[in-house]
Amino acid sequence: MSLTGGGHLDADLVIACDGVRSKARPLVTDVQPAYCGITFVHGDVTGPESFVARHTGEGILHALGDNRAILAQRAADRSIRVYFAVRTPEDPSRSQGAWFEDSAAIRRRLRTTFDGWNPDLLAVLDEIDTFAYWPLYGMPAHQRWAPHSALTLLGDAAHVMPPFGGEGVNMALLDSVELVRALFAPEHGTLDEAIAAFERSMLDRMTGVIEQANAGGELLLSAEGAQPLLDHFTGAV
C-alpha cells in the first residue's frame, strides 16, 4: 500500500530504512547527521577506456594531494564513478545529490581546484557529462537513543557516515540480518525487548565502524597528501 500523498497504516513494527534524511530518526534521537567538512563532486565515466579507466582497473584509484583527492571506483556495469573530493564549507544553496546545471562551469572550477595535477588525470573531466554535488554527513560514533516502541532504524537512517571505510551498504545489510535474528530469538519475550537487543548490539558495533570511517577521511584528505596513507600501510604510525 502506498502512502504517497497521505493516508495512514497500522503496523506492529515500523522498520525505518529511509536513509540520511530519515523522517523517522527524530522519534529516537534529536541528533541529526552533521556535515563532515568534505564535499564530493562526482560523475560517471562510461566511454572507452582512458587513463583513469586503465589505472582504476577492476577496483579503485586514489590520487591524493593537499586536502584534496580524486577517487575513482569501477562499478559492476563497467562504468567508473569519479569523485573530486575537497575540504570546503557546505554550500547552503545546493542539496545532496543535486546536479550541476552547467557542466562546463563545474569542469572549469575543478580544473582550478586541482590546478597543477597530472593533466592525464584531469582529462577525465572531459569524459564526464554531468556532475553531482555530494557533501558528506555523519552521525556521531556514540549514540544514545530515547526509549521508543514498535519502531527501529537501520542503515544510513541509523548511522550514516562518510564513505571512507566502504562499509555503509555492508552495515545496512548486517543490520537487517541482525534485526531478523533478534526478532526471532526465543530469549526476547516481547517485540520491544527484541528491538532493544538489536539496537544495543548495532549501535555498539557502529561506534568502531564510524570512528574508522572518520579516520579514513583524515587519511585520504590530508594536508600532507598521500603520506599519512603510505605511513598507515607501511606501519610507520
Q: Of 25, 68, 14, 29, whose CA–CA distance to 156 is shortest?
A: 25
Q: Give the nearest distance from C-beta 9 to ligand FAD in angstroms.
A: 12
Q: Give the nearest distance from C-beta 187 to ligand FAD in angstroms.
A: 27
Q: Cα dihedral sign for 131, 69, 91, 116?
A: negative
Residue 32: left if φ>0, alpha if ψ -120 to 50, beta else—which one?
A: beta
The reply on whether position 135 binds ligand FAD by CB under 6 A is no
Q: What is the DSSP letter of 99?
A: B
Q: Give the nearest distance from C-beta 130 to ligand FAD in angstroms.
A: 16
The reply on whether position 211 binds ligand FAD by CB under 6 A is no
The reply on whether position 134 binds ligand FAD by CB under 6 A is yes
The reply on whether position 34 binds ligand FAD by CB under 6 A is no
* C-beta of 122 vs 153, nearer to ligand FAD: 153
Q: Of 210, 220, 215, 221, whose CA–CA distance to 87 is shortest?
A: 221
| Geometric angle at alpha carbon 90, from 86 and 91, rounded to 5° | 110
Q: Give the nearest distance from C-beta 1 to ligand FAD in angstroms.
A: 12
Q: In what order do the strands lie in the sheet with 80-87?
A: 60-65, 68-74, 80-87, 34-45, 132-138
* C-beta of 57 vs 120, nearer to ligand FAD: 57
Q: Give the nearest distance from C-beta 60 to ligand FAD in angstroms.
A: 9
Give dist(CA 107, CA 115) in Å, integer: 12
Only one of the segments 14-22, 27-35, 123-131, 224-232 lies at the binding site for ligand FAD (rule: CB under 6 A); that segment is 14-22
Contact with ligand FAD (CB under 6 A) among 13, 14, 18, 205: 18
- Binding residues (CB under 6 A) for ligand FAD: these are 17-20, 23, 40, 134, 155-157, 163, 166-170, 172
